[in-house]
Homo-oligomer: A and B are copies of this chain.
Amino acid sequence: MNAESSRGAQTVLAPGATIGILGGGQLGRMMAVAASRLGLNVHIYSPSVDCPAACVAETVSVGAFDDTHSVLAFAKSCDAVTYEFENVPAVSAKAASSVAPLRPSARALDVSQDRLVEKSFLRAQVGVDVAGFEDINSVYDLKRAVKRLGLPCVLKTRRFGYDGKGQVIIRAEADIAAAWNSLSPAPCILEAFIPFAREVSIVAARGLDGQIAAYPLTENVHRNHILHTSTAPAAQDDGSAAKIAAKILEQLDYVGVMGVEFFQMPDGRLIVNEIAPRVHNSGHWTQDAGCTDQFEQHIRAVAGWPLGDATPRHSVVMTNLIGDDVNAWAELAKKPGTRIHLYGKSDARPARKMGHVNQII
């Protein structure tokens, strides 16, 4: 029995209890708001006191994510701990889980923060389709792998990639050396290029009691590798994505909300691209769909509450406000059926997620 299961892994939090959130960005902010609705308090752990979640949280602890001493002190003051991003260092997750239930678990982090571990897990343990992939530790590995996977293919760092960062497309053998130099010495993974018809995702939750609730399939459009729009429910949902998500959640004995991103092939086949052990940008539409939103769903799971209903009453198109897009707030505020969600960030840097709007359709 590990420390977590010995210390209240089945704990249900009553109103008035405190949920700790590792990370204070917009996801933490929207989780904090959902927690307040359920009468639960939030303690944010963030490297900066000036983070989007700080102004809606009861308490903020400032510390580095790899400062295990500080994370431990934070977790001791919480009745359960969760996180808003998957790059929480393993040692910190383990420190937190030694003193409070960590939901989702440290294993969900281990699996999702390394693309090689993630793809191996998905293929071998869950038994779902993923892109062909190879472990890359040298330019020699890369040359051999390119031959096996074919061109084009995509070289990615195993860790810390997001929004297209830490990846480069290899279109010809002549690109190999430059691609390797641009990412080395980080351990990498080479992935076969997927000629997909569309990108879709599913956000699903698993409760402490094993109950699973999946939102409907969502169709996503990216611009410059950043999510631009999500439309839900997506057309042509045969239910396979929800089944795959359920398998992943079960396999990880997962508690909380997870985002699963897929490439869908022209023949309808789904290939899992990646999983995110947290609330997900492609689930923001749930806030204005007339069902329990993903933030409350996550908080319910983390608190050990029954999951809420995940069946939307309307269709929604979510559009991210990236960088300067947010300057259109006054125009957006006039549009009927458009719900604005801003993150309280003062500096609208290019490529920075400043907010989103949900258009009810």
Is the CB of A210 closer than 8 A to any CB of chain B? no
Instruction: Give complex CA distance A88, B198 in Å.
Output: 57
- Say which residue of B38, B337, B339 sits within 8 Å of A340 (CB atoms): B38
Instruction: Give complex CA distance A12, B330 in Å.
Output: 10
- Say which residue of B39, B56, B334, B346 sits within 8 Å of A342 (CB atoms): B39
Task: State whether B341 touches A37 (Cβ < 8 A).
Answer: yes
Task: State whether A344 touches B290 (Cβ < 8 A).
Answer: no
Task: State whether A36 touches B56 (Cβ < 8 A).
Answer: yes
Contact with B along A324-342 (1 / 0, CB 8 A): 0010011001101101111
What copy number does this chain have within its complex? 2
List which A125-175 residues lie within 8 A (CB) of chain B.
none
Is the CB of A183 closer than 8 A to any CB of chain B? no
Instruction: Give complex CA distance A37, B55 in Å.
Output: 12
Instruction: Give complex CA distance A308, B292 in Å.
Output: 21
Instruction: Give complex CA distance A37, B15 in Å.
Output: 23
Instruction: Give complex CA distance A128, B326 in Å.
Output: 44
Task: State whether A309 touches B326 (Cβ < 8 A).
Answer: no
Q: Which residues of B contact A42 (CB under 8 A)?
A: 55
Is the CB of A176 closer than 8 A to any CB of chain B? no
Task: State whether A290 touches B360 (Cβ < 8 A).
Answer: yes
- Say which residue of B32, B58, B334 sits within 8 Å of A306 (CB atoms): B334
**What are 13 A-to-B residue pairs whose CB atoms are below 8 Å?**
A12-B330, A14-B329, A15-B326, A15-B342, A15-B344, A33-B36, A37-B341, A39-B343, A42-B55, A55-B57, A292-B339, A309-B336, A313-B360
